[in-house]
Structure 1
Amino acid sequence: MAKNTRGGALIHQSGFDFLNALKKHNNREWFNANKDTYLHELKQVEAFADALLADLSSHDVIETPSGKNSLFRIYRDTRFSSDKTPYKTHWSGGFKRATQYRRGGYYFQIEPGNTFIGGGFWGPVADDLKKIREDIAFDPAPLRKIINSKSFVNIFGSLQGEQLKKVPRGYDAQHEGADLLRYKQFLLIRRFSDEEVLSEQFRKEAGKTFAAMRPFFDYMSEVLSTDSNGL
């Protein structure tokens, strides 16, 4: 098995092989028959998540205590879904930023053909969303400067997330930040090819991607921890 000369964990081809096989045989009988393989590959992903956490902790305060605790269960909740397959066909995990002033989080998903590193605000509560929109309405320049920066565009392309079709009620449809006011989610996503994921550089690139989110998170932390008087 390959070793990472940089001292961090790797994503292995065997993990992709397991996920591809699971996608073809997504049933409890097959999964139970291959449980030992699943547990082995899960340990590999836990080691990768531990390495990511160590990288994150060098530049942010993370509440998630370990790589193992960051991982989401592979078992799907099918109660309210038309898709009754019992298992996810990817590895994924998230890291929560600590304290109320560091809202938002980091996310990773590892899946053949669909791996990405992400972060931001998937479902901001109504009060947070209102604060963000009020700050954009007051002056969209700070956020626009971040998402239009060369480094942001090179890594993330553009700000992503679900948007309203129109500017929300109470805001000027002709506002210079109208495009930003329509966002309901604020997501930063960088996608990786399978070749990139299986390379020794992936952990390093994943860490760099998380670090590149800090200007965005710093902006959001200030917006969400400051009242209408700027205090």
Structure 2
Amino acid sequence: MATKSSSNAVITKPTFDFLRDLVQNNNREWFQTNRARYDAAKNELCGVVQQVLTDLSSFEPLANTAVKDCIFRINRDIRFSKDKAPYKSNMAFAIGPGGRHSGRIDYYVQIQPGNQSFLGAGMWQPTPANLAKFRQEVDYNVDELKQIIEADEFKAYFPEIHGEVLKVMPKGYSADHPEIDLLRRKELFFVHRYTDKEVMKANFAEEVVRGCRIIKPYIDFLNYLFFDEKEEPVML
């Protein structure tokens, strides 16, 4: 079980009210007028992130990872987007070594009204090299991966699978390959959704940590495969 933090980390109804109102008033003038509401919502999010960081540190190496490093800006990057709304409709954070820019597979949490909050993790927009490593592992040694993602507890907590899937088999693999479904995946990202009521419960941060524990073996599998596995030396 996760270690309970002494902080009172709670997301309250005013935070959801602010995000709902922001969707209807997504402009800089309204946002500046309601800046105090945003600051209060962000302060609540910081409390949750701090508790999650504290509890996750019992089984993840998160030394020197600060709350501010984990939280995403609410401002949208509209430079290359047809949608010029300046703000996101959610608040989010990602936890990995050093924060949201760890460069590794991490834990992502999004707070969004309408029962759309979620914890997610996994392979998302991998580099061509990492996707090739994933497919090679599926081809040669799929058992470890399947033992993780097909475990009863894992499937019960993470019933949603997101990501792009090829319509045909990737080049170099037979159409009758026994792991055709995994090989066709360009992304393999698992999601657990929380209702608004669940997010507003006092134990929400602890529940997020419970989900992180469940999906940790999959994250470890990908991080080892993509970043830690040493290539065998070539004998000349």
TM over 0.5: yes
Preserved contact between residue 49 and residue 68 of structure 1 (Cα < 8 Å): no
CA–CA distance in structure 1, aligned partners of residues 194 and 37 of structure 2: 25
Matched residue, 2:47? 47
Matched residue, 2:221? 219
Task: Look up the equivalent residue of 1:14 and give its one-letter code.
Answer: P
Deviation per residue, 1:7-53 (Å, 9 max, x gap): 44111111011111111111111111111221122111111111111
Matched residue, 2:159? 157
Matching of residue 105 in structure 1 with residue 115 in structure 2: no
Task: Look up the equivalent residue of 2:112 and give its one-letter code.
Answer: E
Gap change, CA 1:130 and 1:42, over 3 Å in 2: same
CA drift of 1:214 comes to 1.6
**Secondary structure of 1:164's aligned partner:** coil
Gap change, CA 1:186 and 1:5, over 3 Å in 2: closer
Matched residue, 2:183? 181
Task: Look up the equivalent residue of 1:110 and give its one-letter code.
Answer: I
CA–CA distance in structure 1, aligned partners of residues 162 and 17 of structure 2: 30
CA–CA distance in structure 1, aligned partners of residues 218 and 142 of structure 2: 13
CA–CA distance in structure 2, aligned partners of residues 228 and 46 of structure 1: 40
**Secondary structure of 1:92's aligned partner:** strand
Preserved contact between residue 48 and residue 67 of structure 1 (Cα < 8 Å): no
- TM-score relative to the length of structure 2: 0.87
- TM-score relative to the length of structure 1: 0.89
**Secondary structure of 2:177's aligned partner:** coil
CA drift of 1:76 comes to 0.9
Preserved contact between residue 64 and residue 96 of structure 1 (Cα < 8 Å): no
CA–CA distance in structure 2, aligned partners of residues 135 and 203 of structure 1: 34
**Secondary structure of 1:119's aligned partner:** strand
CA drift of 1:202 comes to 1.5
For 1:129-148, what aligned pairs fall within 5 Å after superposition?
129-148=131-150
Tell me which stretches of 4 or more aligned residues in structure 1 moved more than 6 Å: none
CA–CA distance in structure 1, aligned partners of residues 38 and 60 of structure 2: 31
**Secondary structure of 1:78's aligned partner:** coil
RMSD across aligned positions (CA):
2.2
Gap change, CA 1:134 and 1:64, over 3 Å in 2: farther
Matched residue, 1:72? 72
Preserved contact between residue 74 and residue 87 of structure 2 (Cα < 8 Å): yes
Q: Which 10-residue stretch deviates more, 211-220 or 146-155?
A: 211-220
CA drift of 1:203 comes to 1.4
Gap change, CA 1:171 and 1:150, over 3 Å in 2: same
CA–CA distance in structure 2, aligned partners of residues 38 and 16 of structure 1: 10
CA drift of 1:132 comes to 1.1
Preserved contact between residue 162 and residue 184 of structure 1 (Cα < 8 Å): yes
Task: Look up the equivalent residue of 2:70 and give its one-letter code.
Answer: S
For 1:13-92, what aligned pairs fall within 5 Å after superposition?
13-62=13-62, 65-92=65-92
Preserved contact between residue 7 and residue 51 of structure 2 (Cα < 8 Å): no
Preserved contact between residue 132 and residue 223 of structure 1 (Cα < 8 Å): yes
CA–CA distance in structure 2, aligned partners of residues 171 and 62 of structure 1: 39
CA–CA distance in structure 2, aligned partners of residues 64 and 210 of structure 1: 19
Gap change, CA 1:57 and 1:160, over 3 Å in 2: same
Q: Which 10-residue stretch deviates more, 221-230 or 81-90?
A: 221-230
- Give aligned-pair identity as a percent: 34
Preserved contact between residue 163 and residue 183 of structure 1 (Cα < 8 Å): yes
